[in-house]
């Protein structure tokens, strides 16, 4: 992996243009899905793991915007 890629991964990327509302849309979509799962699934380790993975997916979706635009 080259230094440029590592630098991109470990640099703060301030929101630009229409990114902030897109981040918010991703967060709202994640929250809606999390609420649905919480309503439909019993509290359990499995639900906790699913919500953790959803949170991770939302983070990576935001990183896709931040790092590649």
> What mean pLDDT comes out for the span 21-42?
98
Residue 8 counted as domain residue: no
Q: Can you tell me which residue has the tokens 């959803």?
A: 54
For the four alpha carbons of 28, 16, 64 and 10, in that order, the dihedral sign comes to negative
* Residue 54 structural domain: 17-68
Residue 38 counted as domain residue: yes
Neighbour count for residue 27 (Cβ, 10 Å): 13
Confidence of residue 1 (pLDDT cuts 50, 70, 90): confident
Q: Which two tokens stand for residue 32?
A: 């809606």
Residue 7 counted as domain residue: no
All residues at 6 or more sequence positions from 7 whose CB lies less than 8 Å from its CB, including other chains: none
Contact 8, 67 (CB under 8 A): yes
Per the structure, the count of domains in the chain is: 1
Residue 62 counted as domain residue: yes
Judged against a pLDDT cut of 90, whether residue 27 lies above it is answered with: yes
All residues at 6 or more sequence positions from 9 whose CB lies less than 8 Å from its CB, including other chains: 67
């Amino acid at each position: 992996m080259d230094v440029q890629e590592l630098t991109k991964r470990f640099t703060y990327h301030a929101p630009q243009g229409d990114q902030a509302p897109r981040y918010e849309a991703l967060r709202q979509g994640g929250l809606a899905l999390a609420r649905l799962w919480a309503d439909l699934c019993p509290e359990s380790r499995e639900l906790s793991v699913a919500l953790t993975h959803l949170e991770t997916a939302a983070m990576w979706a935001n990183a896709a915007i931040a790092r590649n635009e």
